[in-house]
Amino acid sequence: RIDLAVLIEISPEVSLERSYLEPNIPRDIIRDMFFLEALTDAYQALKNRLPEGSLIINGELPIGENVEIIANKILTLFDCEVLINTG
């Protein structure tokens, strides 16, 4: 049984832009816009098949915000009363 699935959505354009920030990323794959668009399409198809209650978050938000969203979802699943605030 799957308790939680998390899908982080990010546009191909932002993914491409971020690829230039990390010098160790393989340039031949990650900087191919056709690949990134195909990957986005595949994730969209996957999104339609995720179990109920899955968490879909905006990967274009700052990492701290997404950590908070994911942590709060996990805590909610297990009926924890302490919520994380990284801000």
User: What tokens appear for 28 in the block?
Assistant: 């031949």
Yes or no: say if 68 and 84 are a contact pair by the CB < 8 Å rule: yes
Yes or no: say if 85 and 65 are a contact pair by the CB < 8 Å rule: no
DSSP 1-48: --S--EEEE--HHHHHHHHTT-TTS-HHHHT-HHHHHHHHHHHHHHHT
Residue type, 35: F
Residue 1's pLDDT band (cuts 50, 70, 90): confident
Total-model pTM:
0.71
Instruction: Report the distance separating Cα 56 and Cα 73, nearest Å.
Output: 11
Per-residue pLDDT of 35-82, as tens digits, reads 889 999 999 999 999 988 899 999 999 989 999 999 989 888 887 765
Least confident of 11-15, 71-75, 83-87: 83-87
